[in-house]
Amino acid sequence: MTESQVTVFNSGYDTVVRGGRVIDPANRIDAVCDVAIRNGVIAAVGPDLDATGAKIIDAAGLVVTPGLIDTHAHVYEHVSGDFGLNPDLVGVRSGVTTVVDQGGPSALTFDGFRKYIVEAADTRVLAFVSAYLAGGLLGHRYVDLYGPTGINVAAIVKTAEENADLVRGIKAHAEPGGYSRWGMASLKLAKEASREVKLPVYVHLGTLWPELEGTEVDAIKIIDEVVPLLDPGDILAHPFTKFPSGFVATDGSIHPLVREALARGVRIDVGRGAHFSATNARRVLDAGIMPFTLGADLHGYNIRIGDGGRAYRGMFSDGADSLIADDERASPFSRPYSLQHAMTELLALGVGLPEVVRMATSNAAVMIGFEAEMGALSIGMPADLSVMRLIDGDWTLIDSEQVKFPAHTIVHPEFSLRAGKQYLADSPLLPEFAAMAA
């Protein structure tokens, strides 16, 4: 056979992620498989795929999942002051392919969010638009901006309709500080808007603002007024909160309306952030109440890296740092953190790995109404993948109350692929697992 007669076969794939443990709850896959990518979309999933002519990424010994979706992020940099983080540092450079900003952009600031955050990021960025015209300005520091007079239902509806590709719901609050001032007035307006645009409302539970002087709020009873306002698909955040007005009363009992809410189709997002009490998490999980999604709730007040416990918004390619805060009083619980760390905590509390992956992939996609285009490794979907290493050992985790509890497996991000492009998990915001050794 002459050289001109030799036929070279090509698989037609651009990239093959080879030999990882693929966990894809939406497609009921939990097996060692290859994932093939062509033109930025999933082309095939299966064992021993032909990778002739393709770039091969070795994932042997690693866990491969659909791209992780962080359902509770704060990434409106600069506009939300110290609160907002760089979307790629908590996104693709942390092994997360999609982040959902909770309440940073508002009807007044959404155009800037689209241009300077969404369009500038490699990570896919979506949002629950703030119910308040102030949005997340300066990290919600000024409570007077978050009452009913700061809500314009028509403006919310207009923003949601004009930005339907990005707006996946509406963010509101039901916590003692706001309740002491306005009762349920703000949440009722948020629900009016959410019903008009047929999108869910995401409700923050747990103390955020100080109570109005001279008032006394029985925080655990706030949920009595919240649940009747909610519709199927609405979300209650922070079920494990250490603060009042969450799921757990001071006597350790679970609020009876929580089960009623779940029975009506209301969903629960972990919203880990500064709200995670391992003690309350055990109480909620032991009661058979399982969160639907796993939001990390990273922001500039609860993440810190570097010498002296300082926190940073970002670290850029030129080596420049952007200091968030060095005031330990403002954030005594802050430390390196990630969505995978939240996954680690749930594993430590006895939730199985496939269920934890489901929360951060297919369930998250359902929550935001995008299950047709993310949250699974289905043929033709964008090639968004997260690749992680499970590290077994004896570890000590610390919750938001400074309570230590043991873990035996750490979920550590290695890299992600967003629309087929690979990103190493090199964010300076990621924790070093060695620091958690028991």
Rounded to an integer, what is the distance from CA 406 to the centroid of its chain?
23
Task: State mean pLDDT over 366-388.
Answer: 98
User: Of 79-93, 158-172, 212-226, which range is least confident?
Assistant: 212-226
Name the residue among 268, 348, 342, 353 with its Cα closest to residue 65: 353
CB under 8 Å to 426, separation ≥6 — which residues?
A: 93
Percent of the chain whose pLDDT exceeds 90: 68
Task: State mean pLDDT over 402-407.
Answer: 92
pLDDT tens-digit readout, 145-186: 888 999 999 999 999 999 999 999 999 988 877 777 888 999
Task: Tell me the average pLDDT of the chain.
Answer: 87
Q: Which domains does the chain have, with CATH numbers?
A: 3-65+374-394+414-424 (2.30.40.10), 67-367 (3.20.20.140)
pLDDT tens-digit readout, 277-329: 999 999 999 999 999 999 999 887 777 544 333 333 333 223 323 333 333 33
Tokens coding 70: 């962080």
How far does the chain reach from its first CA to its final CA, in angstroms?
65
Residue 25 confidence (pLDDT) above 80 = yes
Residue 395 confidence (pLDDT) above 60 = yes
pLDDT tens-digit readout, 59-76: 999 999 999 999 999 999
- What pLDDT is recorded for position 335? 58
DSSP 139-169: GG--GGGGSGGG--HHHHHHHHHHTTTTEEE
Task: State mean pLDDT over 237-249.
Answer: 85
Task: State mean pLDDT over 326-333.
Answer: 36
pLDDT tens-digit readout, 408-419: 999 999 999 999
